[in-house]
Protein backbone atom coordinates (compact mmCIF):
# COMPACT_ATOMS: atom_id res chain seq x y z
CA UNK A 1 0.00 0.00 0.00
CA UNK A 2 1.34 3.41 -0.89
CA UNK A 3 1.86 6.02 1.78
CA UNK A 4 -1.09 8.07 0.55
CA UNK A 5 -3.53 5.13 0.44
CA UNK A 6 -4.82 5.61 3.96
CA UNK A 7 -7.77 3.59 5.24
CA UNK A 8 -9.82 6.82 5.31
CA UNK A 9 -9.00 7.53 1.66
CA UNK A 10 -9.88 3.99 0.63
CA UNK A 11 -13.15 4.21 2.55
CA UNK A 12 -13.99 7.52 0.85
CA UNK A 13 -13.26 6.06 -2.58
CA UNK A 14 -15.49 3.06 -1.97
CA UNK A 15 -18.35 4.71 -0.10
CA UNK A 16 -18.59 8.16 -1.68
CA UNK A 17 -17.35 7.51 -5.22
CA UNK A 18 -18.41 3.85 -5.50
CA UNK A 19 -14.97 2.71 -6.67
CA UNK A 20 -14.95 -1.08 -6.53
CA UNK A 21 -12.53 -3.00 -4.33
CA UNK A 22 -11.24 -4.69 -7.49
CA UNK A 23 -10.43 -1.32 -9.08
CA UNK A 24 -8.63 -0.22 -5.94
CA UNK A 25 -6.60 -3.43 -5.92
CA UNK A 26 -5.56 -2.82 -9.55
CA UNK A 27 -4.49 0.74 -8.71
CA UNK A 28 -2.61 -0.35 -5.58
CA UNK A 29 -0.80 -3.06 -7.55
CA UNK A 30 0.26 -0.52 -10.18
CA UNK A 31 1.38 1.92 -7.47
CA UNK A 32 3.80 -0.70 -6.16
CA UNK A 33 5.46 -0.91 -9.59
CA UNK A 34 5.22 2.79 -10.44
CA UNK A 35 4.95 4.80 -7.22
CA UNK A 36 2.81 7.89 -7.34
CA UNK A 37 -0.27 9.43 -5.79
CA UNK A 38 -3.10 6.90 -5.70
CA UNK A 39 -5.68 9.35 -7.11
CA UNK A 40 -3.48 9.98 -10.17
CA UNK A 41 -2.99 6.25 -10.71
CA UNK A 42 -6.75 5.72 -10.53
CA UNK A 43 -7.21 8.44 -13.15
CA UNK A 44 -4.37 7.29 -15.42
CA UNK A 45 -5.88 3.80 -15.61
CA UNK A 46 -9.37 5.12 -16.29
CA UNK A 47 -10.75 4.01 -12.93
CA UNK A 48 -12.02 7.49 -12.03
CA UNK A 49 -13.19 10.43 -14.11
CA UNK A 50 -11.56 13.84 -14.04
CA UNK A 51 -14.53 15.07 -11.98
CA UNK A 52 -14.01 12.26 -9.47
CA UNK A 53 -10.29 13.06 -9.36
CA UNK A 54 -11.15 16.63 -8.40
CA UNK A 55 -13.51 15.33 -5.68
CA UNK A 56 -10.74 13.12 -4.30
CA UNK A 57 -8.27 16.01 -4.09
CA UNK A 58 -10.93 18.27 -2.55
CA UNK A 59 -11.61 15.58 0.08
CA UNK A 60 -7.90 15.10 0.75
CA UNK A 61 -7.41 18.84 1.20
CA UNK A 62 -10.32 19.03 3.67
CA UNK A 63 -9.31 15.91 5.61
Residue 4: the pLDDT is 65
Residue 1: the pLDDT is 40
Q: Is the pLDDT of residue 2 over 90?
A: no
Residue 36: the pLDDT is 85
pLDDT in tens, 3-48: 467 899 999 999 999 999 999 999 999 888 888 899 999 999 999 9
Residue 26: the pLDDT is 92
What SS3 string covers the chain? CCCCCCHHHHHHHHHCCCCCHHHHHHHHHHHHHCCCCHHHHHHHCCCCCHHHHHHHHHHHHHC
Amino acid sequence: MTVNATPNLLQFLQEELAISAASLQVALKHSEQDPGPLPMILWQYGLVTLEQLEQIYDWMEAA
